[in-house]
Every structure is written in structure tokens, then in C-alpha cells.
Amino acid sequence: MHEEMRVHEEVLGDANLIAVRGDVDHNTAPILADALRRATLDGEGRVVLDLCETSFIDSAGISTLLNGLRRLTRERRKLIVVCPPGPPRRVFELLGLVGTFDLVDSVGEATA
């Protein structure tokens, strides 16, 4: 059984933090897409996406992240994905996306 996703958004120093708790799948990816869109349109600086409390991400979630990365790159901004070793990180590895995304193990590392 998958855990319902919740998103928390805040400004953390010069970064826009989006913390996700729960599963990112075809049902919840639009919620994450909205948060990434808000951070892109309303914020400045880098966007830090915290997936530490995420246990599952599917192709819809990855597609959402790729779209967010593309929008931020056009704005000359960075998307940093906090994704420590575990099942979600393994998805990035299996899809060959480790070099595409700026993956770090902690929020502290992302905001340093």
C-alpha cells in the first residue's frame, strides 16, 4: 500500500524548498508539478526538492521532475534533488538520470 503524498513549501535562505512526504506516482505527480511551477514562477534562486521522506517514485514522478528541471534550466536556475540512497535513488540510477539531476544526500548539502 502506498502512502498518500504531502508537499511542504518554504523559502530556506536563498533556496525554495519543496519537501515531499509519501509516494510520487501518476495520481500525485500533478501536486508536485504545481509546487515546482510555483517555485519557478514565484521564486528566485535554486529549488531544492527534498525526497528524503519519499518511499516510491514512478515514471510520472520522474517525468514531472524532468519538466521542472527543463523550466528551471531555461530560467538559468538550479534544481537540486535531495535523495539519499534507497528505493527512489535507485530509480534515478536505473534510468541513468544520476548525471541529469543534481542529486545530494541531505538538505544541508543542498543549501550549503
User: Each residue of 43-85: pLDDT tens digit?
Assistant: 889 999 999 999 999 999 999 999 999 999 999 999 999 999 9
Cα–Cα distances in angstroms (integers) from residue 28 to residues 21, 61, 81, in the given order: 11, 8, 18
Q: Taking residues 6-26, report their average pLDDT.
A: 94
Confirm whether 1 is domain-assigned.
no
- Residues 15, 47: contact at Cβ < 8 Å? yes
Q: In 10 A of CB 20, how many CB atoms?
A: 24
**Angle at CA 36, nearest 5°, toward 31 and 40?**
150
Confirm whether 87 is domain-assigned.
yes
Confirm whether 80 is domain-assigned.
yes
Instruction: Return the CATH number at 100.
Output: 3.30.750.24
Confirm whether 94 is domain-assigned.
yes
Phi then psi dihedrals of residue 102, to 5 deg = -85, 95
Which pLDDT band holds residue 2 (cuts at 50, 70, 90)?
low
- Residues 67, 33: contact at Cβ < 8 Å? yes
**What count of Cα atoms within 13 Å lies in the side-chain half-sphere of residue 32?**
31
Confirm whether 21 is domain-assigned.
yes
Confirm whether 43 is domain-assigned.
yes
Q: What is the structure's pLDDT at 3?
A: 64
Q: Taking residues 12-18, report their average pLDDT.
A: 91
Structural domain including 77 reads: 6-111
Q: Tell the residue number behind the cell numbers 511542504, with chain if given.
A: 8
Give pTM, 2 decimals: 0.94
Total domains, the chain:
1
- Residues 48, 16: contact at Cβ < 8 Å? yes
Task: State pLDDT tens for residues 23-50.
Answer: 999 999 999 999 999 999 988 899 999 9
Q: What is the structure's pLDDT at 112?
A: 83
